[in-house]
Chains A and B, each alone.
Chain A
Amino acid sequence: MSNEFFAGFRPPLPPPGLREKVLRTARTPPARAPLPPLLGRMELVLAAAALVLALGHVAVTAASAPSPPAAPPSRRVATLTGDPALDPLLVAEAVRWEEAQQRRLLAELGL
C-alpha cells in the first residue's frame, strides 16, 4: 500500500512546546504522596461508638451483679470437696471403705 493512499502526506509532528514540557515533566522528581491519616472520619466514628458500647457494658455489669461476700481469711483453708459441709461425710465414707477392705483381706488370709 506504500503510496497507494498517502503520497504527498505525512503524519503531523509533535506540537511546538511539547518537547520542553515532556522533558521537564520527565525530569521532575515524583511528588511524595501525603501520608494517609491513621483513621478516616468513618473509622473514627465507629471506633468511638465501639468504645461507648464497651464502657456502657462494663458499667451495667458492675452495677447489676451483686458482689459475693468476701470470705474471712481464717476460713480460707483447703477442703476436699470445695464444700466444707461435705468433707466429714466423705472422710467417714473413706474410713468405712478402708475398714471393710481390711476385714476382707483378713478373711481371705484366714486370720
Chain B
Amino acid sequence: MAAVAPASRGTGADSAAGVEAPLAQALASLARGDDGSLETIWELMAGDLYALALWRSGSREDAADAVSEVFVRLARKPPHPSKIARPRAYLLAMVHRATVDLRRRQRPTVALEDAFLVAADGHPGAAEGRRLNQALAALPAAQREVVYLRHWAELSFKEIAAVTGVPIFTAASRYRLAVRRLRALLGVQV
C-alpha cells in the first residue's frame, strides 16, 4: 500500500482530478486481493463519502453506517477495475445508494441543523454558520445532495446524474431549485 496524502475536499478541480489516479490504483490493488488498499481508499475518499452521506441523510449515524456499508462491500466484493471509468464518481454513487437504502429502511428523522457545515480553520462565524445549516436543513435531501456533489465534490451535472441515478436535466434542475431557495432563505440578492 502506497502512502497517500489525504485529499483536500472541494478546493478545486485539480484536487479532485488528483485523487482519481491513486484511487484507481488502490481499487485495482484491492481487486488483486490487497486489503491494505482499504486504508488508502479511506484516506482519499472518507471525507467526501461521509459528507455526502450526511448531506443526503441529515443524520450522523446514518452517514457513518453508509460509509461503513461502502467499505464492507468493497472488501467483500471488490469491483473489477475495468468496470470503473471514474473512481471518485463510482464510490460517491456507492455511498449515495447505501444512504438511500438506509433511509428506506428507517424512519425519517428531522434533519440536523448543525452538521452540514462547520467553520473552516480561523473562521469565527458561528451565527453565520447556524443560519447556513438551518438553510441547508430546510432543503429537500435530494437537492442538498446535488449541492454537495456540485460545490464540494466538484462533479459535472453529467457525473451527478450518474451518481444519483437521475437524468442530467433533473440533476441540474435540483441544483437550480436549491440555489434559488438558499438565496431566498439567506437573503442573498441575485
Of all chain A residues, the one with the shortest Cβ separation from B47 is A13
- Interface check B160, CB cutoff 8 A: no
Contact, CB under 8 Å: B60 / A15:
yes
Contact, CB under 8 Å: A23 / B118:
no
Contact, CB under 8 Å: B119 / A8:
yes
Contact, CB under 8 Å: B68 / A9:
no
Are A9 and B129 CB-contacts (below 8 A) given A4-B188, A23-B71? yes
Chain B residues, Cβ within 8 Å of A26: 35, 38, 68, 71-72, 74-76
Q: How far is the CA of A27 from the CA of B38 in the complex (A)?
A: 9
Contact, CB under 8 Å: A9 / B123:
yes
Chain B residues, Cβ within 8 Å of A97: none
Contact, CB under 8 Å: A14 / B64:
yes
Q: Which of B1-48 contact A (CB under 8 A)?
A: 9-10, 35, 38-39, 42, 46-47
Q: How far is the CA of A12 from the CA of B116 in the complex (A)?
A: 7
Chain B residues, Cβ within 8 Å of A12: 50-51, 54, 115-118
B94 to nearest A CB, angstroms?
13
Of all chain A residues, the one with the shortest Cβ separation from B12 is A2
Dominant secondary structure of chain A at its interface with chain B:
loop
- Interface check B157, CB cutoff 8 A: no
Contact with A along B167-189 (1 / 0, CB 8 A): 00000000000010010001010
Chain B residues, Cβ within 8 Å of A8: 119-120, 123, 125, 128
Of all chain A residues, the one with the shortest Cβ separation from B52 is A11
Chain B residues, Cβ within 8 Å of A11: 9-10, 47, 51, 54-55, 116-118, 148, 152
Q: How far is the CA of A18 from the CA of B51 in the complex (A)?
A: 13
Q: Which of B115-136 contact A (CB under 8 A)?
A: 115-120, 123, 125, 128-129, 132, 135
* Chain B contacts to A: CB under 8 angstroms: 9-10, 35, 38-39, 42, 46-47, 50-51, 54-55, 60, 64, 67-68, 71-72, 74-76, 115-120, 123, 125, 128-129, 132, 135, 148, 150-152, 179, 182, 186, 188
* Chain A contacts to B: CB under 8 angstroms: 1-2, 4-6, 8-15, 18-19, 21-23, 25-27, 30
Jot down 22 A-B pairs with beta carbons below 8 A, ordered by A.
A1-B150, A1-B151, A2-B151, A4-B188, A6-B132, A8-B120, A9-B118, A9-B125, A10-B117, A10-B120, A11-B116, A11-B117, A12-B50, A12-B54, A13-B47, A14-B46, A15-B64, A18-B68, A22-B42, A23-B39, A26-B35, A26-B75
